[in-house]
């Protein structure tokens, strides 16, 4: 069935079911009214200024990261009625430039299925969402996951396909079968999905289709041999710098020295992919994409030859201090991905410079000197890498804090959040400076050209102070940043 015929069929079905559409429309209107009434009740002490966050309630994985009719779109897992995880909706934000964002109406509401993670594609004037329908069952493990479609001709109002699910089962029947990431190559649509083997080893499955309805299973694109976790979530597969990158979030990896210290990880392998035999030949070992405390379930999109990435700026099974304030969860800032050798670098967007407001300092900062920032800041730091660098970021009135360190004796960058340490070796390939982004409850540290990045939530009381604890004078350029997302 051609895609255009599918859309026509969907419209005919909608016209024949006015009662269903009316109920759905009422539910959406009721939800948006609830959000509008609840937003003024939020406590804004930790509310982020330039990171996408839910208007109310809970947020986790980014979904549907895409470009449609002149704007970027970012959807996300959303439970509006409480600031803890609940029956999943799809929240929705859009942006002209990936920096300034507005909140749009909730895109998907659960029916018999919860609307778990997925992706968005564009075909002509139609935006199509492919997402996992998570349904509760009465048999162990008491849930099942299949793949659904929804359509829109304006990127705001979506109608679910009457023939859902379009992918009803994993090849081995595993109930864990989720997070479709779709793209087009030639005449075919392709999708990767996260799943697991019968003996609990994570894997990624590859399918293709002519019409998004009938899908052909091609092969297992990647699979754990036992050391890469029991479930692979949120897979993404794309070309970068002449290679192919498999990016995903494995669950159940054991900590190994400095590595894999979060509950679950997000990382990648680099290799070559052949569209003739669908074989992905791995060339590197698994590498973490971000080394901070709070980075999970990333998703990428491509526009004008550039590959962008965003991730959930939280982690499972850790405290979320903003939860008592009526909201929880955020997205990282958008980063550009660049392949250099066997490294995938993350770089802040050039457009981030447009958020610079008041200049705080541009010059030397002596040992023990304190820089007073606002609730936000962008700080560029450079010093002698043959000597130690140590910075304390903390709330002016106390609360959360973090120590950022460079130790030349071991060649590691360290982010120490109240004794919860993340650290990794750093070998600069160009710039030797750090670029630190602070928001009302977060820090993102980019080292050099983005070879090493840490994303961590930190919850200060009041505005930020930054203290140079290094045994050397540092060169520092610092700015307060403007708001670019709604309260």
Do the beta carbons of residue 428 and residue 405 sit within 8 Å?
no
Other beta carbons less than 10 A from residue 46's beta carbon? 27
Q: Are 165 and 145 in contact (CB under 8 A)?
A: no
C-alpha dist (Å) from residue 287 to 21, 249, 405: 46, 11, 22
> What is d(CA 120, CA 65) in angstroms, rounded to the nearest whole number?
6
If one counts every other C-beta atom within 10 angstroms of the C-beta of residue 121, the result is 19
Q: Between the CA atoms of 49, 54, 56 and 60, what dihedral angle is there, to the nearest 10 degrees?
A: -130
Q: What φ, ψ does residue 164 adopt, rounded to 5°?
A: -60, 145
Catalytic positions, written as ranges: 61
Residue 346 half-sphere exposure toward CB, CA atoms < 13 A: 26
Q: Is beta strand 442-447 parallel, antiparallel or unpaired with respect to 370-372?
A: unpaired
Burial class from Cβ neighbours inside 10 Å (0-12, 13-18, 19+) for residue 356 reads middle
**Three-state DSSP class for 5?**
helix
| DSSP track, 224-238 | --SSS-SEEEEEEEE
Q: How many Cβ atoms from other residues are within 10 Å of residue 49's Cβ? A: 20
DSSP calls for 270-318:
EEEEETTTTEEEE-S--EES--SSS-EEEEEEEETTEEEEEEESS-TTS
3 state SS for 334-349: CEEEEEECCEEEEEEC
Closest CA to 458 of 408, 406, 411, 391: 391
Do the beta carbons of residue 209 and residue 121 sit within 8 Å? Answer: no
Question: What is the residue-wise DSSP string for 14-55?
Answer: HHT-HHHHHHHHHHHHHHHHHHHHHGGG---TT--SSS---S
């Amino acid at each position: 069935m051609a895609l255009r015929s599918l859309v026509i069929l969907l419209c005919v079905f909608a016209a024949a079911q006015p009662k269903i559409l009316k109920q759905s429309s009422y539910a959406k209107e009721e939800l948006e009214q609830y959000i509008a009434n609840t937003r003024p009740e939020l406590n804004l002490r930790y509310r982020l200024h330039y990171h996408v966050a839910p208007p109310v309630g809970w947020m986790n994985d980014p979904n549907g990261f895409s470009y449609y009719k002149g704007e970027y779109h970012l959807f996300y897992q959303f439970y509006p009625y409480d600031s803890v995880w609940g029956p999943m909706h799809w929240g929705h934000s859009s942006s002209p430039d990936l920096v300034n964002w507005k909140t749009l109406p909730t895109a998907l509401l659960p029916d018999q299925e919860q609307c778990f993670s997925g992706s968005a594609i564009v075909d002509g004037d139609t935006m199509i969402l492919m997402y996992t329908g998570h349904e509760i069952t009465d048999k162990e493990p008491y849930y099942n996951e299949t793949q659904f479609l929804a359509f829109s001709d304006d990127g705001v109002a979506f109608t679910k396909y009457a023939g859902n699910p379009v992918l009803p089962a994993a090849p081995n029947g595993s109930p864990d079968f989720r997070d479709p990431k779709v793209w087009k190559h030639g005449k075919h649509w392709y999708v990767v999905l996260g799943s697991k083997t019968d003996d609990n080893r994570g894997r990624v499955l590859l399918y293709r289709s002519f019409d998004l309805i009938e899908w052909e299973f091609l092969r297992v694109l990647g699979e754990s041999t036992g050391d890469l976790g029991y479930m692979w979530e949120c897979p993404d597969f794309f070309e970068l710098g002449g290679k192919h990158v498999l990016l995903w979030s494995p669950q159940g990896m054991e900590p190994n020295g400095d590595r894999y210290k979060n509950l679950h990880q997000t990382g990648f392998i680099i290799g070559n992919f052949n569209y003739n035999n669908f074989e992905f030949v791995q060339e590197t070992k698994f590498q973490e994409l971000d080394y901070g405390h709070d980075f999970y379930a990333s998703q990428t999109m491509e526009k004008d030859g550039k590959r962008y990435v965003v991730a959930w700026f939280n982690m499972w099974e850790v405290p979320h201090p903003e939860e008592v304030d009526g909201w929880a969860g955020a997205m990282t800032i958008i980063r550009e991905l660049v392949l250099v050798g066997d490294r995938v670098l993350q770089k802040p967007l050039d457009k981030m410079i447009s958020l610079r407001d008041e200049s705080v300092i541009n010059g030397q900062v002596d040992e023990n000197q304190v820089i007073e920032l606002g609730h936000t800041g962008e700080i560029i730091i450079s010093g002698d890498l043959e000597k130690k660098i140590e910075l304390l970021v903390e709330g002016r009135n106390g609360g959360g804090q973090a120590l950022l360190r460079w130790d030349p004796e071991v060649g590691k960058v360290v982010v120490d959040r109240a004794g919860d340490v993340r650290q990794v070796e750093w070998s600069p390939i160009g710039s030797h400076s750090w670029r630190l982004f602070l928001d009302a409850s977060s820090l993102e540290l980019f080292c050099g050209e983005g070879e090493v990045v840490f994303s961590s939530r930190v919850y200060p009381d009041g505005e930020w102070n930054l203290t140079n604890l290094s045994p050397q004078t540092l060169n520092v350029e610092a700015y307060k940043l403007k708001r670019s997302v709604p309260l």
